[in-house]
Structure 1
Amino acid sequence: MSRRRDQPRGREPRSIADSLRTVTAGFGSRGRAIDLTRRWSDAVGDAIAAHARPDRLDAGRLIVVVDDPAWATEIRYHTSRILDALNAGTTAAKITELHLRVHPRG
């Protein structure tokens, strides 16, 4: 019996359901990022939300864009409270870190 050329050695054919699970595995984190964007001002307060916004979520690390270094310092001071607020009431993987990037508004 000959093997098909396009089938890697040691791998059996996969079901469509397994293939779809693999393809959509990353969609959950994107959905969580959208939810975080909606809840951001509640978690950080209106003053911080006016100067900082979540950019993307990557393996528990939330990238936040801040318009001024002073606001980055303020967010660092409140990091544990912000993480607690963002993680509250969700069964999704927890956000463990805020990574701040300063990009002044032009």
Structure 2
Amino acid sequence: MEKKRQPNNTFTPIGQVLGSILDQCRSETGGGILHLVNVWEKAVGPPISENAKPFAVKGSLLLVHVSSSAWLHQLRFLKIELLEKLNHSLTNERIEDIKFKIGLI
């Protein structure tokens, strides 16, 4: 006879589940988008990281989703400074360009 599972009344945040799955799938060098998200948050700080998140990487281009057109405009002015901070925090990878796009964060 099959054993019944006890109901689980505690919820696990989806970010924690996705982080765990992405961590298992990323490359052995420790790269990937999850690594970039973590580095991004530390490199750019709270005001920016709350309104802009790395979404995808293609080669040395980083696509960042931003929360509004105002943030998109502001971050375009800060692009060079953000690239310097980000690359200073990365060990193996190098981002040469950032493209900002309004999207879900």
Q: Does 1:77 align with 2:77?
A: yes
Cα gap change, 1:33 to 1:103, in 2 (>3 Å):
closer
CA distance in 2, matches of 1:50, 1:90: 20
**In 1, are the aligned partners of 2:31 and 2:93 still within 8 Å (CA)?**
no
In structure 1, list runs of 5 or more residues that go unmatched: 1-25
Distance apart, 1:76 and its partner CA:
0.9
Question: In structure 1, what is the equivalent of residue 51 of structure 2?
Answer: 51
Quote the Cα distance in structure 2 between the aligned partners of 1:91 and 1:59. Answer: 16
Mapped partners of 2:28, 2:82: distance in 1: 21
Residues of 2 paired with 1:84 and 1:40: CA distance?
Answer: 11
Report the more deviating stretch, 29-38 or 78-87: 29-38
Cα shift at 1:73: 1.2
Q: Give the alignment's TM-score, normalised by structure 2.
A: 0.64
Q: Percent sequence identity over matched residues?
A: 25
Tell me which residue corresponds to 1:20.
Answer: none
1:60-92 residue CA offsets vs partner (Å, 9 max, x unmatched): 000100110110111111111111111115442
- For normalisation by structure 1, the TM-score amounts to 0.63
Task: For 1:35, give the aligned amino acid.
Answer: H
- Aligned alpha-carbon RMSD (Å): 2.4
Counterpart CA distance in 1 for 2:44 and 2:89 is 16
1:45 is displaced (CA, Å) by 1.9
- Equivalence for 1:102: 102
Matched residue count: 80
Report the Cα distance in structure 2 between the residues aligned to 1:29 and 1:96, rounded to whole angstroms.
Answer: 19
Structure exhibiting the larger radius of gyration computed from Cα positions: 1
Q: Which stretches in structure 2 are left out of the alignment for 5+ residues?
A: 1-25
Contact in 1 for aligned 2:56/2:62 (Cα 8 Å)? yes
For residue 31 of structure 2, give the secondary structure of its aligned residue in structure 1: helix
